[in-house]
Amino acid sequence: MLQACLNGGRNRDFHAAVPFTADELARDAALVVAAGAGELHIHPRDLDGNESLAASDVSAAIRAIRESVPEVPIGVSTHWRIPPGGKARQAPIAQWQELPDYVSVNLIEEDAAEIMALVWDKGIGVEAGLWSISDAERFIALPDAKKCLRVLIEVNEQDFDEAMAVATGIISVLEQAKFELPILLHGDEASVWPMFNLAIARGYDGRIGLEDGKLLPEGKEAEDNADLIRAAVVLAHGGDTLLGTANEKGG
């Protein structure tokens, strides 16, 4: 499965094609699905373009996307920093009426288990976001960990060797615990394509989009989210990869 992460916390200074409004998200959703994406991950925005967990903003984004691409699963971030931030963000999440198919919950955040329980009670699936080996260890110790939809391995390290060490370390923890949940592996900026290629090599799901980075595998800036997804599809279907090459190591 190839997931498209359409916007994250990015702004137009990062890339002119970052979608903000519900209509922009819906248009981008149609383009990335046509390009080969099977799922969507979004950060809804308010009228000022700021990330939002408010029920009205989440509902507007989800309704517009579902009208554009019916049947395509939609995921929403619950990141700690999204206003109102911290544990206070549980209040707007509890008020959601138009529900996403799943949310991403980061184990590095102190209320991860609380957020999981909150969204499970609403019938929403959970991607368990693991940024480190310690996150993985915390995750496998959760009594309800296996209720999650999948494990989301998120590699933020920019150095190639460090990124690989984090990814393989998390995978090792999961394997030793005999966790059989699906795994989605993705990177950020310099680690986007190395992690995507590692996901291909291991048979995991992958994630690509402007939230994670704006460069194509050859280093050229992508036109938009659909351009990134098309490049990922080429790699996933046997196109040339850069895994382990000097390009990925900055050489």
C-alpha 58/C-alpha 44 separation (Å) is 6
DSSP 8-class letter at 45: B
How sure is the predictor about 244, in pLDDT bands with cuts at 50, 70 and 90? very low
Residue 174 forms part of a structural domain: yes
Report the interhelical angle of 22-35 vs 55-68 (nearest 10°): 40
> Quick one: average pLDDT of 80-90?
97
Residue 223, domain extent: 2-236
Given a cut of 50, is residue 91 above it in pLDDT? yes
Residue 184 confidence (pLDDT): 98
Quick check: is 16 in a domain? yes
Q: Sign (positive/negative) of CA torsion 226, 156, 185, 120?
A: negative
**Paired tokens of 212:** 């994670």
Q: How many domains does the chain have?
A: 1
Residue 8, number of CB atoms within 10 A of its CB: 19
Q: Any idea what the Cα angle at residue 138 is, between residues 93 and 207, rounded to 5°?
A: 60
Instruction: Provide the residue type at 69 as one letter.
Output: V
- Does the pLDDT of residue 249 top 90, yes or no? no
Residue 245 lies in a domain: no
Q: What gap in Å lies between CA 98 and CA 58, rounded to an integer?
A: 7
- The pLDDT value recorded for residue 100 is 98
Q: Taking residues 119-143, what's their average pLDDT? A: 97
136 part of a folded domain: yes
What does the pLDDT look like over 185-215, one tens digit per residue? 999 999 999 999 999 999 999 999 999 999 9
pLDDT at 239: 64
The dihedral sign for the CA sequence 192, 176, 130, 117: positive
Q: Is residue 46 part of a domain?
A: yes
Per-residue confidence (pLDDT) for residue 179, from 0 to 100: 86
* Confidence tier at 180 by pLDDT (50, 70, 90): confident
CA angle 104, 100, 203 (to 5 degrees): 50
DSSP, collapsed to helix, strand or coil, labels residue 6 as coil
Asked if 224 and 14 count as a contact pair (C-beta separation under 8 A), the reply is: no
Residue 166 lies in a domain: yes
Q: Which pTM value belongs to this model?
A: 0.92
| Residue-level pLDDT at 240 | 52
* Residue matched to tokens 């955040």: 109
- C-alpha–C-alpha distance, residues 45 and 57, integer Å: 6
CATH of the domain at 52: 3.20.20.70
pLDDT band at 243 (very low <50, low <70, confident <90, very high): very low
